[in-house]
Structure 1
Amino acid sequence: MTTVFVTGGSGFVGGRLITRLVADGHTVRALARSDSAAARVSELGATAVRGDLGDVTGLRTAAAGAELAFHAAARTTRDGDRARFWADNVDGTANVVRAARDAGVRRLVHVGTEAALMAGRPLVDVDETVPVRPDSRAWYAASKAAAERVVLAANDETLQTVVLRPRFVWGAGDTTVLPELVAMVSSGRFAWVGGGRHLTDTTHVDNAVEGLVLAARRGVPGEAYFVTDGDPVVFRDFVTDLLATQAVTAPTRTLPAFLARMAAGAGEAIWRGLRRNGAPPLDYMSLWLSSQECTINIAKARAELGYRPPRTRSDGLAELRAAAGSVAGS
């Protein structure tokens, strides 16, 4: 039995990871920056340790005694200026690395993302040889790219570091992507950009967790790995199926891609120039997700980690329908 330290444990991926680690017999300590986060990770079976990513001393205390750490905490919302993204995703990651090293953690697995490669062009059958883009116009993408560089540069004989990159994480318990899609449809703000017929890869949350566990066991120190559900799917078909699990019918309205690009560029310029709160109606990350192919080659994870996605899309969609039905019936 191993003592494991987890950041982001009250979130979607981090919470499912805690459940898996506890089920596998590990003792889990989870960082919690609020009472609600502490209650959430405690419910999942972890010991909550109060602190945040800006407090190296608190992080070091939380990681004390752990042999393994998973860094799942990150700013993922569409709003926030560059300084906030850098403080949370880059500086915060550097603090976790420092604290893990000081606490004697043997291995640190960082939850990365394919967004670290995004800079405005489609990603077609990409693998781990494609460089990350800290110069991306999207602050989330740029900050996650910079954070990944921090993690991999820290790898040495005292602290082994590995990055695991799932793409488009989904499943029951999602508090971001699916709820936002439902809200957009309900408010009449949803449209298929350019028809939405491009291919995309996806990663069920249980498949992401499987990849994280394998990265901790078998990942080559200093390396990054992509994991997905195995095969790409047409973006429009997948989102339609996701919405259907919530008894929501996908609209048919289409927005020409060139108009969407103009709207995203203008919106980002206005919001950044005027330092407005919140996010523009259409930001760069949302535009790229909804209009550009993103297909991933996971041969490296298959070969080096022995990764095989344990969850199929049909299983995950059925779980979402069941979860929605139980909420409606309660």
Structure 2
Amino acid sequence: MPSADRLFLTGGSGYVGRNLIRHFVAQGAQVRALARSANAARQVLALGAEPVEGDLFSPHLADAMQGCNALIHAAADTQHGLASQAQHHTNVEGTRHVFAAAARARVSRAVHLSTESVLLDGSPLVDATEQHPYPRRPAGGYSATKARAEQVALDAVKAGVAVSVVRPRFVWGRDDTTALPQLLQAVDSGKFAWIGGGRYLTSTTHIGNLVHGVERALRHGQPGQCYFITDADIVEFRTFISALLISQGRTVPEKAVPRWLVTTVAAVSERISAITGGRWHPPVTRQMLAPSAVEVTLNIAKARRELGYEPPISRAMGLEELRSAAFIPPPL
């Protein structure tokens, strides 16, 4: 398999994108990263990549990819609220445009960054393999559009782009500007509560393990195949979240709410929002609950077997890294 020494990246200024740039630049790769704003371009440049101004629909995308032998499509609309046309536009049509450009630029290999959420409908997902089917009724717009985006990306195999899909679960670790800040804000504002006590299992993916998994998929992934990429072990959801909070100097809350209550609120709220034509925004949605209110555990045997993937970062190592670089904003 060819090496990823000339790489094009979408979503370069995001949490995952920044770490992908660091990883591949450190290996000596030339990285071009799509940047939607001047600030994003500055971040990309500071990390050692070449910024390409534009977005997923830029007409010059194929020209920007010329000379690259690998693509990582990491950009996405990850909001977990109600389904929206804007999210469909970004996640589905944006993916379609990116891979059409890759085919025109003759990019030989690609990894599409997806999520375990493509399989979520609100029910537990236990020791799932990549053979698990898409649900008939996805948890929400994020799950639905990312599932469709996977299919669009894999269709590019027919156009000569050797695409494989990587599905992480609950990305965490250093430089987190997504999940951890939101968690800290909820705790500091007194809005955090354990759903059903939080005593269910979860898979997680340290950011270092994710970028390693992406590299393995670029080098060894089979075209048209999906791969779960997670940490080596599963963990109780409450235990893991508590460890994250402690690493940031927080006291672990004891407040809990019954699962039936919060799921009922989500269902009723979504109906009210539909009646109002979306003018009223629900405080919680089924999409928000699907990845965090029940067990979601994934089996990574396929990635180990086909990619030679072995998670280099243990949970203990990742937590120690967070403790050492703890960012502790003042309570709200």
**TM-score bracket relative to the smaller structure:** over 0.9
Q: 1:279 and 1:75, CA in 2 relative to 1: closer, same or farther beyond 3 A?
A: farther
CA distance in 2: counterparts of 1:325 and 1:73, whole angstroms: 25
Q: Is the 8 A contact 1:228 1:309 kept in 2?
A: yes
User: 2:38 is matched with which residue?
Assistant: 35
1:246 deviation in Å?
1.3
* Deviations, residues 70-110 of structure 1 (Å, cap 9, x unaligned): 00000112346420110011110011110100111001110
Amino acid at match of 2:227: Y
CA distance in 2: counterparts of 1:200 and 1:170, whole angstroms: 13
**For 1:154, what is the secondary structure of its paired residue?**
helix
CA distance in 2: counterparts of 1:13 and 1:115, whole angstroms: 16
* Deviations, residues 244-274 of structure 1 (Å, cap 9, x unaligned): 1111112111100110111111222333443
Aligned pair partner of 1:21 in 11, 19, 24 = 24
CA distance in 2: counterparts of 1:110 and 1:120, whole angstroms: 24
1:285 deviation in Å?
2.5
Q: Is the 8 A contact 1:204 1:311 kept in 2?
A: yes
CA distance in 2: counterparts of 1:244 and 1:255, whole angstroms: 21
User: 1:65 is matched with which residue?
Assistant: 67
Q: 1:50 and 1:170, CA in 2 relative to 1: closer, same or farther beyond 3 A?
A: same
Tell me if 1:106 matches 2:117. Answer: no
Amino acid at match of 2:268: A
Alignment of 1:156-305 (within 5 A): 156=158, 158-276=160-278, 280-305=282-307
Q: Is the 8 A contact 2:10 2:75 kept in 1?
A: yes
1:289 deviation in Å?
2.3
User: 2:48 is matched with which residue?
Assistant: 45
CA distance in 1: counterparts of 2:253 and 2:106, whole angstroms: 52
Q: 1:258 and 1:325, CA in 2 relative to 1: closer, same or farther beyond 3 A?
A: closer
Alignment of 1:3-22 (within 5 A): 3-22=6-25
Q: 1:134 and 1:7, CA in 2 relative to 1: closer, same or farther beyond 3 A?
A: farther
Aligned pair partner of 2:98 in 93, 96, 99 = 96
Amino acid at match of 2:73: H
Q: Is the 8 A contact 2:248 2:328 kept in 1?
A: no
Q: Is the 8 A contact 1:81 1:272 kept in 2?
A: no
CA distance in 2: counterparts of 1:299 and 1:86, whole angstroms: 31
CA distance in 1: counterparts of 2:237 and 2:279, whole angstroms: 30
> Could you tell which deviates more after superposition, 317-326 or 288-297?
317-326
Q: 1:79 and 1:256, CA in 2 relative to 1: closer, same or farther beyond 3 A?
A: closer
**For 1:156, what is the secondary structure of its paired residue?**
helix
The alignment's C-alpha RMSD in Å is: 1.8
**Residue segments in structure 1 that go unaligned for 5+ positions in a row:** none
User: 1:311 is matched with which residue?
Assistant: 313
Q: 1:236 and 1:292, CA in 2 relative to 1: closer, same or farther beyond 3 A?
A: same
* Deviations, residues 136-172 of structure 1 (Å, cap 9, x unaligned): 1411011110100111122137211100111110011
Q: 1:278 and 1:208, CA in 2 relative to 1: closer, same or farther beyond 3 A?
A: farther
Q: Is the 8 A contact 1:78 1:278 kept in 2?
A: no
**For 1:119, what is the secondary structure of its paired residue?**
coil
- Larger relative contact order (Cα-Cα within 8 Å, sequence gap ≥ 6): 2
**Residue segments in structure 2 that go unaligned for 5+ positions in a row:** none
The TM-score normalised by the length of structure 1 is 0.94
> Could you tell which deviates more after superposition, 319-328 or 186-195?
319-328
The TM-score normalised by the length of structure 2 is 0.94
Q: Is the 8 A contact 1:71 1:110 kept in 2?
A: yes
CA distance in 1: counterparts of 2:15 and 2:114, whole angstroms: 14
**For 2:198, what is the secondary structure of its paired residue?**
coil
1:275 deviation in Å?
4.7
CA distance in 1: counterparts of 2:81 and 2:37, whole angstroms: 20
1:281 deviation in Å?
2.0
CA distance in 2: counterparts of 1:326 and 1:80, whole angstroms: 31
Aligned length: 327
* Deviations, residues 4-43 of structure 1 (Å, cap 9, x unaligned): 0000010111110111110111100000000111011111
Q: Is the 8 A contact 1:134 1:142 kept in 2?
A: no
Amino acid at match of 1:238: F
